Amino acid sequence: MTPAEASQKTEALCRRAPVIPVLVVHDAAHGRPLAEALVAGGLPALEVTLRTPAALDVIREMAQVEGGIVGAGTLLTPEDVHKAIDAGATFGVSPGVTDRLLDAAEEAGLPMLPGIATAGEAMRLLDRGYTVAKFFPAEANGGAKALKAIGAPLPQIRFCPTGGVSLQNAPEYLGLSNTLCVGGSWVAPADKVEGGDWDGITALAREAAALDPR
């Protein structure tokens, strides 16, 4: 998969809904009902971060949910790429960028949403052929104002900002011309996941799915 092909796929994914849930799940048994709740609320693209021992099993469970598009987040190494694909992930997300990681993803055919924090990192991605990236950590890096400023000299690249994005500040990001969607964890709070409040999560997903002002 070429960088251009990967960016085409991730752009289409980002356009499916204004929010991609960023999920930290500790129990594989929660995978399927959580995915069903989020998809029912209008958020089909799901990022399961590889931050828990259960993450790969969660991806396996979520990959079976009709209408869901499940990806793996926190990809750091080529080994992570291969494990994610084996578990059923159809896209990958990384907090930053290394050549080894992108080489592995391109060779394996996994569309990547690679993370950047600066204009220089964005230029490196553009030089490689990527036109879609994750802006992370968004709020710590200056928020929507910083992302707008990066977009002025680099209109060729579009973003999914994550990190500190909430229901309250998401509209500010979504109003930017260089933002395709946002990533956020608020749609699946730990207490609702642990308590099995799937109806509550569906309600949060519906609220998020209605955010896009464009």
47 is catalytic: yes
Q: What does the DSSP 8-state code read for residue 96?
A: S
Q: Are 93 and 72 in contact (CB under 8 A)?
A: yes
- How many Å apart are CA 130 and CA 104, to the nearest integer? 15
Measured CA distances, 102 to 6, 65, 78, 98, 192 (Å): 10, 28, 8, 6, 35
For residue 120, the one-letter residue type is G
The alpha carbon of residue 139 and the mean position of all alpha carbons in its chain are separated, in whole angstroms, by 16
Q: Which residue has the tokens 């000299």?
A: 153
> Of 155, 153, 149, 147, whose CA–CA distance to 131 is shortest?
155
Alpha helix ranges (H) inside 74-183: 78-87, 99-108, 119-128, 143-151, 170-174
3-state secondary structure of 25: coil
Exactly one of 36, 61, 106, 134 is catalytic; which is it?
Answer: 134
Q: Is the dihedral of CA 42, 47, 52, 58 positive or negative?
A: positive
Catalytic-labelled residue, pool 47, 61, 106, 172: 47
Distance CA(174)–CA(171), nearest Å, equals 5
Residues designated catalytic: 47, 134
